Amino acid sequence: MTATELNELSESPPPVAAADRSAVEPGSRPDVTIVLPTYDEVGHVSTEVRRICATMDASAYSWEIVAVDDGSTDGTREELRSLAARDARIRVIEHRRNLGSGGARRTGTRAARGHVVVWTDVDMTYPNDRIPQLVDSLEGYDQVVGARNSEEGTHKALRVPAKWAVRRLAQYLVQEDIPDLNSGFRAFHRDRAARYLGRLPNGFSCVTTMTMSYLADGLSVGYVQIPYAAREGESKFHWYRDTRKYLLQVVRMTLGYEPLRVFMPLGLALLLFGLGKLGFDVITKDFRIATNTLLILFAAFQVISIGLLADLVVRVTKPPEDPAPPV
Ligand SMILES: Nc1nc2c(ncn2[C@@H]2O[C@H](COP(=O)(O)OP(=O)(O)OP(=O)(O)O)[C@@H](O)[C@H]2O)c(=O)[nH]1
Ligand SMILES: [Mg+2]
């Protein structure tokens, strides 16, 4: 699907399923698990969780919420515990040390019992009242992503160009249009995602990795347009630490997905330049080959070798096609 074919997530109610499946039989799996990474979000976390509960109750889907807290110290944990005490469909997992939002999403997805997993945030930015429509639009796709129509994130001046560059690289690597690479609002099939969970990094780039892993394996990713609101509470995005991680993400993506697409053109360009220079030396310098000619040819050889090696590593470490279903 291209950016121009984005569907707008409408406010209208989802197509009503034949039977009301909102109640889960003991021991059976709910339709949807909503995974919430939380860290110091007191004040609005309850509002957000209640908003999700009300939305899901009004839908035809049976559901559960798995909130994964990373050592919040502002009372978020206590708010979550009290919400969970009042509704058995809300579970809270507490990491003993701070892993980051990616680590929390990984833990929550591993613990999910639902057939479909939804990732979203608890900072009031994503339209969580449209989760049922997001799940509806998963039909026919392996993953569906809420593509934001504006960037309201903190440190906009730094993040917008960094995100643009990473997105361009990602599009080049997978040869596909990616309307929003970093959206934290997405839905996918739990069992299909199992093989990718081990790859997810702890930090914010977890969502990028989720899109890239699917696209690199030829799975289908659909996009639906969503609004993106200004954040409540304080951002956890650190301008230096997280921008540095973005740059690292560029290197990882280059090496991890279709490395030959980057290394081959670069290596071949160096090789052509080196051979041209070699010809020039032979003709004009009476076979005395300059040191820089040898250096250029050596660099070409190295770049091509690294590309081939990275390609081999990617192929050897690819997860098996049909993993055992999760327990
Ligand atoms: N468990 C856990 N959750 C986190 C951590 N850092 C952030 N989060 C949660 O991850 C979600 C996204 O974090 P944000 O700080 O909003 O990051 P962002 O959306 O990239 O940036 P903003 O532009 O500030 O909204 C929120 O629900 C946070 O509570 C963390 O270290 N651990
Ligand atoms: Mg946010």
Three-state helix/strand/coil letters over the chain = CCHHHCEECCCCCCCCCCCCCCCCCCCCCCCEEEEEEECCCCCCHHHHHHHHHHHHHCCCCCEEEEEEECCCCCCHHHHHHHHHHHCCCEEEEECCCCCCHHHHHHHHHHHCCCCEEEECCCCCCCCHHHHHHHHHCCCCCCEEEEEECCCCCCCHHHHHHHHHHHHHHHHHHHCCCCCCCCCCCEEEEHHHHHHHHHHCCCCCCHHHHHHHHHHHCCCCEEEEEECCCCCCCCCCCCHHHHHHHHHHHHHHHHHHCCCHHHHHHHHHHHHHHHHHHHHHHHHHCCCCCCHHHHHHHHHHHHHHHHHHHHHHHHHHCCCCCCCCCCC
Question: Residue 101 C-alpha to ligand 1 middle, in angstroms?
Answer: 6
Q: Is the CB of 107 under 6 A from ligand 1?
A: no
Task: Using 70 as the pLDDT threshold, list the residues of the chain that sit under it.
Answer: 1-26, 151-155, 319-327
Q: What is the pLDDT of residue 11?
A: 42
pLDDT of residue 1: 46
pLDDT at 251: 83
pLDDT value at residue 17 = 41
Q: Which residue has the CA at smallest separation from atom 24 of ligand 1?
A: 235
Q: How much is the pLDDT for 160?
A: 82
Q: What's the pLDDT score for residue 319?
A: 67
pLDDT tens track for 219-233: 999 999 999 999 998
**What pLDDT score was predicted for residue 90?**
98
Question: What is the pTM (predicted TM-score) of this model?
Answer: 0.84
Mutate to test the pocket of ligand 1, among 41, 94, 121 (most ligand atoms within 8 A of CB): 121
Report how far ligand 2's centroid is from the alpha carbon of 152 (Å): 9
Q: What is the pLDDT of residue 151?
A: 65
State the pLDDT at residue 14: 39
